[in-house]
Amino acid sequence: MQWAEAGVDRQQVDVLVIGGGGGGMAAAAAAAECGRKVQLVEKADKLGGTTSGWSIGSISATNTPHQLRRCILDNPQHHFEDMGLFKTRRAKSDNPALRRLLTDNVTETFCWLVSLGIEFAGPMPEPPHRKPRMHTVMPNSRAYAYHVGRYVRKLGVHIRLRSRAVELVRDGQRVIGAVVECDGRRVTILAKATVLATGDFSGSAELKERFVSKELAAVDPINVDSTGDGLRLGIAVGGRVLNGDVLLGPEMRFVPPRNNLIRMIPPWRFVGQAMRWSFENLPPSILRPFVMSFMTTALAPTPALFAEGAILVNKRGERFVDEGPGAALALAAQPEKIGYILLDSALARKFSAWPNYISTAPGIAYAYIDDYRRNRKDIFHSASSLEALADRLGMSRSALSASLATARAARGGIDTGPDASGAWYALGPVKSYIVLTDGGLAVNERLQVLDAADRPIDGLYAAGSAGQGGVLLQGHGHHIGWAFTSGRLAGRHAAFETDREASASATVGA
């Protein structure tokens, strides 16, 4: 056995869960609910991952108490059908069996999250879903780590933070645990079943280059901790990745504010309840200032800005790309990877009211230029002339006016001149990000990791993004739905693996 040389320390558990985001916390809870001895290792210094640290927190589900309260008659079959109507990021194969697993089980997952104290507002509509299904966590996605983490601890799961799994341990072909680096020590944790729940690989230049392209490897992730470790560990024991080139990004987003007020709200239940009540009962005019502080945090500027004449320049004031679909990728190659969106006063006025918004979170609200002026003084810039704006942003005056001239020449009919006020505006910095990657290990409906011949690798399960298994999760709320749902199912199956393993050894011993 490899572990004899690998570690200086050894422990034995029933189920080892690697990664403490949505998928991992759910897997650990489910295995512990089955009475198993569970250890969860998380490389960061707290639980949560992208699920709780970065996401908006929406989850799409049918037949929820929230739908029923609003007399919305819906069902998993329609959810299954509607998910297939979302435009794929690329023409890719889907995994209908896993999509079915999600739509059939996400209601139970949702009710479980509610039972742990998590509050949701909604559901909100999001076409092509035929019914409103998107539920938004209150007050923010930190509620997931707070409530699910508390539950996992209560169940007695041994949580090991700042502990990174670096290698799976095998006995023959069977996975029997992992080597974990913790405080400079290597610890071998032996387990009857191991669940990989390490998130996606948007933060790994190496894996992005391998599965997508060299150019995209240079684009920053939103969560640098999403290093695709689970994929590497799974591949090393014979697993394979499906839909490796499907991802969300590169996408331009405004850089986040230094103090994100929404994320500072404590994730306690009564706070969530108060926020939910406010969303459901207060008039939009009272809620708007609050909602806008969220809407202007780190969302994407609408491509319509560029279609209507806004110009993208780098920090030197140079226009480096036409503002079409390739702009986000080109931005990642600019100095400090940052850019500014330049608008004249006529355009700024146009983006002051519906239907011309600067950013949106679908179903929640729309933010206009004045919302940025009020809420994001750090990225809203204005001046009475183009030269004054260049000075304010530390750009070369001549570069900025040359950028304007080339944009005007290239765009022909589009008028990019200011109105009588003569004012100019810039929004930025904007950066390009890979928001998430959809490539995950091939898994079956029991969430067992599959080898090249589609045979389960004994003892090994995967959940969340690491175990996405080729299912397309477009539309809001399906990734988190998948993380928690696949995590719970993987945890349960892993718990039963411990019985199978016990009966197999009994048979051998007999």
Q: What angle do CA 294, 148, 230 make, to 5 degrees?
A: 90
Residue 384: strand, helix, or coil: coil
Choices 5-13, 21-29, 310-318, 375-383; region in contact with ligand FAD by CB under 6 A: 21-29
> Is 124 among the residues that bind ligand FAD (CB under 6 A)?
no
Choices 47-55, 93-101, 266-274, 306-314; region in contact with ligand FAD by CB under 6 A: 47-55
The residue nearest ligand FAD at its CB is 21
Which residue, 72 or 166, has its beta carbon nearer to ligand FAD? 166
Among 22, 203, 257, 429, binds ligand FAD (CB under 6 A): 22
Which residue, 175 or 343, has its beta carbon nearer to ligand FAD? 175
Positions in 178-217 near ligand FAD (CB under 6 A): 197-199
Positions in 403-442 near ligand FAD (CB under 6 A): 435-436
Site string for ligand FAD, 475-494 (x = CB under 6 A): -xxxxx--x-----------
With b meaning 16 or more CB within 10 Å and e meaning fewer, what string describes 38-68? bbbbbbbeebbbbbbbbbbbbbbbbbbebbe
Positions in 99-118 near ligand FAD (CB under 6 A): none
Choices 274-282, 306-314, 452-460, 464-472; region in contact with ligand FAD by CB under 6 A: 464-472
> Is 226 among the residues that bind ligand FAD (CB under 6 A)?
yes
Cα gap 80→126, rounded to integer Å: 15
Residue with tokens 């230094």: 258
C-alpha dist (Å) from residue 191 to 184, 239, 414: 22, 19, 64
> Is 175 among the residues that bind ligand FAD (CB under 6 A)?
no
Structure tokens at 282: 């207060």
CB of 248 to ligand FAD, least distance (A): 8
> Is 51 among the residues that bind ligand FAD (CB under 6 A)?
yes
* 310-313: long-range contacts, CB 8 A cutoff, minimum separation 24: 310/341, 310/342, 310/343, 310/347, 311/341, 311/342, 311/403, 311/404, 311/407, 311/416, 312/339, 312/340, 312/341, 312/342, 312/430, 313/339, 313/340, 313/342, 313/395, 313/399, 313/400, 313/403
CB of 390 to ligand FAD, least distance (A): 32
Say what angle helices 22-33 and 478-509 make with each other, to 10 degrees: 40
Which residue, 363 or 422, has its beta carbon nearer to ligand FAD? 363
- In terms of Cα–Cα distance, which of 367, 494, 470, 501 is closest to 36? 494
Among 39, 50, 67, 432, binds ligand FAD (CB under 6 A): 50
What are the residues binding ligand FAD (CB under 6 A)?
18-24, 41-44, 49-51, 54-58, 164-165, 197-199, 222-223, 225-227, 229, 435-436, 464-466, 476-480, 483
